[in-house]
Structure 1
Amino acid sequence: MAGAHRAGAGGPADPPQGDGGDDGDGPTPDSGSKQRSFWKELPLLIGIALVLALLIKTFLVQAFSIPSDSMQDTLQRGDRVLVDKLTPWFGSTPSRGEVVVFHDPGGWLPENPPASSNPVVRGIQKGLSFIGLMPSADEKDLIKRVIGVGGDEVSCKGSGPVMVNGKPLNEPYVYPGNTACTPGMPFDVKVPKGHIWVMGDHRQDSLDSRFHMTQAGHGFVPDSDVVGRAIVIAWPINRWDWLSIPSTFSQPGINALNTGVPAAAGVAGALPLVLVRRRRLLRNSSTEG
């Protein structure tokens, strides 16, 4: 009786000895349950990874493969560069000296080769290109260096140097053995607002702005066609390097022609305010007198 009284008053009787439950944590799930849980979560993890990859490719950074020799020696055929796509979303426009990726303005590239006839291969390519893991067969992008921006006067005669707003460029990035310009193809252009003038670093092997001056766009690339700035060589590892802006583009006076118009516009805009303030002061002084 005493034993029964203790069980009733103190709750359930103690578990039988040897059942492995003396640690108080309850039964431990077996490895089969863990395996099933992993396979249930795997589709969710894959989905999250794909969404993140798509967001990064769309708004932040995208990898591009270099398909030609037009940017040697800065970039080699087969290099992969990371392109900053974030700053254009905040209104940033291309600057002189930057290496940029841009969409074909029209007629710069030949027609793309036809897509694979295999529907499975075609579907995989479209899926991977959609999230930025491989280039699209439908995309027609180029990569060049920005030499002039809207408002700049860019010119070159003979073998160079290239002149920007009357300042000669010192271009150590030009391919060894090349001249700054192609002899027999002089140019003197005024870059329209909202456009850029681009040239490849391999000057004698680059179909850049110089070769499209007779087309509808006159060789200029709209800022809206710029995908972003190439900021780093990411692959192969032994060629890892930042793609910085050469110092020649920050030489004194190179902005002279660009800053004159905004400065004049600022003076013109401020003049009415000065006159109104002066008139107010004169009226106040006559009232006090």
Structure 2
Amino acid sequence: MSRAVQLDSFGGPEVLTVREIPVPEAGPGQVRVRVTAAGLNPMDWIMTADADTAARFGLSLPSGFGTDYAGVVDEVGAGVTGFAPGDRVFGGALSRAVAGFVVVDAAGEIAANEVHRTPDGVDDRTAATLAIAGRTATAALAVLDPGPGDTVLVGGAAGGVGVFAVQLARIAGARVIGTGSADSAGFLRELGAEPVGYGDGLTDRVRALAPGGVTAALDLHGTETVQTARELGVPDGRICTIAAQVDGVAAANGANAPAGALDELARLVAAGRLRVPIAASYPVEQIRSAAERQAGRHVHGKIVIDL
């Protein structure tokens, strides 16, 4: 038997329960991973909050929880090459990652059902934060294609996706201005962004910071950054959202991240070029407290569950 977080009804953190379940078996083309850490994302609780949303993700009851995982290959199914028991790995397992074991396809090409080797120099907690947020940030930046000479406005820059988006844009050579609350300013500076407070007057504050203009914008929260970017003359083709639909503006989906995105992120972490701040880690028994903190939307960095 193995421990796993499950829910028998859709709802908030109060429906999350740790229970004993049978250990899953790896079928043909699959690997079983003994999970050591699972990273939380806003989508984890958004897609399990109600039955209609869950159905759009193909979830039914009883459901698991969490998608990002890291651990060690425990069993390989028939026909699997490239992985062996004992290999350190990470990836995504849609709404079932907070568990002692997950079974995923060894091909590693489908978002939220994938496995990748964890490079030396990347610890399991960090590896367990990469799949959802890293894919989403990479997909969004593929739309914007930032480079030297660009000034990129990132709205909601201190959140889980923002951690990656800010640093990846900086690695690409762009200047980054990141919106956030007053208490996130220091955190944003550490990531390499120039902080600016969100809310009324944002356009004027950004214009003061960047009198030469903003050339691209990424809205990670709603539509405020989209509106500001338009007021600053940024063309719709260089604006992207992840949490809202705006006519004329691309909406990024982590499933559409460029091939090899997660392996490249892991290499950047191993090389010390990309840092993933871990805001807090919780034992699996405290899953409700961890999910409540994640749902509060004021976390600077990532929250990880230890298994």
TM-score, structure 2 normalization: 0.23
Where is the helix percentage greater, Structure 1 or Structure 2? 1
Where is the strand percentage greater, Structure 1 or Structure 2? 2
